Copies of this chain bind each other. A is one copy, B any other.
Amino acid sequence: MSSIATSSAPLQICGMDVQDYLVKAEEFHGHLSPGVAMGGFLVDAAWRVLGPTPYLNAVVETVVCLPDAVQILTPCTLGNNFLQLLDWGKFALTLYDRETLKGARAWVNRQAVAAVPEVAGWFLRGAGGIVLPKDEVVKEIARRGPDLLLARPVEMPAALKPSEKVATGPCPACGESYPLRQGAACLACQGQAYYRF
């Protein structure tokens, strides 16, 4: 059924049509953002380099947008301990096997982005680019994703999230459970409470 001259195959993200990924991303993330679009391609690129991975873990190097791409596309979530966050402000991530510690890191290629004014206006904060509405930027990323990033194998010296059970007990001030190693009271009762009753 294929025609003689076919255009290049539509881009995919983790085996999913890009448009299908964007629908899922909008549903989970609440809106479509350039970051979650680019994040999908970063996950895809790292996973392609890594290959089939039975014990997949992930590290994201920013807390913005990227964690949602990982949580949509992989079994790694924040709450299940397989996604590690670094608040580094870098648009990059690593997927790795927590048994073999072999991984792949993917990151945005600044030079490639700089050559695309429609994306540079977003990623480079306007420097040398055209500042477009976000949905226009998403469209450009969806067309070009893999050309805007780089990925290569890495090795991890150690898994970043060893699970450990810590001893807990009741806080003498509020009565709630807390990790005893934090001191004589829980962090809220030590003065860090972010709320007022």
Interface residues of A (CB under 8 A from B): 1, 28-31, 33, 35-36, 39, 59, 61, 63-69, 71, 75, 77-82, 85-86, 88-92, 94, 103, 105, 107-108, 110-111, 123-125, 152-157, 160, 165-168, 170, 175-179, 182, 186-188, 192, 194-197
Q: Beyond A88-B178, A105-B197: 10 further Cβ-contacts under 8 Å? A: A30-B75, A65-B79, A66-B79, A86-B187, A90-B176, A90-B186, A92-B176, A107-B176, A154-B195, A160-B194
Q: Is the CB of A152 within 8 A of B194?
A: no
A64 to chain B, nearest CB (A): 7
* Pick from B63, B92, B165, B197: contact of A1, CB under 8 Å: B197
Q: Is the CB of B79 within 8 A of A71?
A: yes
- Closest 8 CB pairs between A and B? A68-B79, A89-B179, A154-B195, A67-B79, A67-B78, A65-B79, A155-B196, A88-B187
Q: List the B residue with the shortest CB-CB distance to A78.
A: B67
Q: Is the CB of A195 within 8 A of B29?
A: no
A156 to chain B, nearest CB (A): 6
Tell me the bound Cα distance from A196 to B170 in angstroms.
41
* Pick from B61, B68, B94, B176: contact of A77, CB under 8 Å: B68
A and B contact pairs by CB, cutoff 8 A, 21 listed: A30-B75, A30-B77, A33-B80, A36-B79, A63-B78, A64-B79, A65-B80, A67-B78, A71-B71, A71-B78, A85-B85, A88-B186, A88-B187, A88-B192, A89-B166, A92-B176, A103-B195, A105-B197, A125-B167, A154-B195, A155-B196
Interface centre among A33, A154, A192 (most CB of B within 10 A): A154
Q: Is the CB of A155 within 8 A of B79?
A: no
